[in-house]
Amino acid sequence: MNWQALFSELLIFVTVFVLLYLNGHSGLRKKPKVKKGQIKVACVGDSITYGFGISNWPKYNYPKQLQNLLGNDYHVANFGVTGSCAGMFTDLPYKITKVYNKSLEYEADILIFMLGSNDSKYQNWSSKEEFKEGYLSLLETYKKDENIKIYLCTIARAFFSEGNKTPLTNYKIQPEMVDKIAGVIREIAIENDYPLIDIYELTADNYEWFSDDNTHPNKDGALAIAKEVCRHIKNEDC
């Protein structure tokens, strides 16, 4: 056996894994370890919640930055799944993921719910009515505990790359549908009396908060989202 070659391959594997992890591409997350008396905050969402593509992901994903802002009285858990959708008739329904089950087992006191970006993809979008049905069906599963506080988040804006002449951004996101879905989520919040955190409005004019793919927030964008979520939870500026 060529031990030198084996070691070189192992070193390459470890290096690639570390790079993937540090830049939010691994899909890994720490298992929640909640201290007695902490208020549990579940951040449910897609790659924007997870922190896909953020440099130094363990430090700068938005749930981690939210944890820093809220302090030790709270425990914030990241239940973001890259590529996931609110709807069931999509290429990756959040409801079929293992992370979804973990988010239920967490038994959150506060739910920060931000899904819909991937529903805007042409292969996933069917109609406003179908989106609302899937969105509300998923949301209802978190209401087994009547005391849970639920905040709905509109999805972040998606920007076109310079010179892009197609109706799609990166990852086949349709910006016009992102606009529409943000409006639908506002409707859902009003119709069902949920507090709304308008992430679309927050990010609409802040192109500099996004990474090179024009779809995922960078660490500054993640911080802005964390501050807005914190402001609603604490009812004060963070």
E strands, the chain, where? 39-45, 74-80, 110-114, 149-153, 196-197
Q: Judge whether 24 and 57 are in contact, CB under 8 Å.
A: yes
pLDDT at 12: 47
Rounded Cα distance between 133 and 97, Å, is 19
Q: Given this model, what pLDDT does residue 219 score? A: 96
pLDDT of residue 2: 65
Q: How far apart are the C-alpha atoms of 14 and 32, rounded to whole Å?
A: 25
Sheet holding 196-197, edge to edge: 74-80, 39-45, 110-114, 149-153, 196-197
Average pLDDT over the chain reads 87
Selection from 172, 1, 6 nearest residue 85 by Cα: 172
Pair 197, 191: CB distance under 8 Å? no
Q: What is the pLDDT of residue 16?
A: 40
User: b/e per residue, 168-195, with b = 16+ CB within 10 A?
Assistant: bbbbebbbebbbbbbebbbebbeeeebe
Residues 107, 142 contacting (CB under 8 angstroms): no
pLDDT tens profile 126-179: 999 999 999 999 999 999 878 899 999 999 998 765 545 444 456 788 888 999
Of 36-40, 211-215, 230-234, the poorest mean pLDDT is in 211-215
Q: Quick check: pTM over 0.75? A: yes
Query: What confidence tens digit (pLDDT) does each residue in 42-89 have?
Result: 999 999 999 998 989 989 999 999 999 999 999 999 999 999 999 999
The answer to whether the CB of 216 falls within 8 A of the CB of 207 is no
Q: What is the pLDDT of residues 83-128, one digit of tens each?
A: 999 999 999 999 999 999 999 999 999 999 999 999 999 899 999 9
For the chain, which domains are there? 39-234 (3.40.50.1110)
Closest CA to 96 of 110, 114, 109, 83: 83
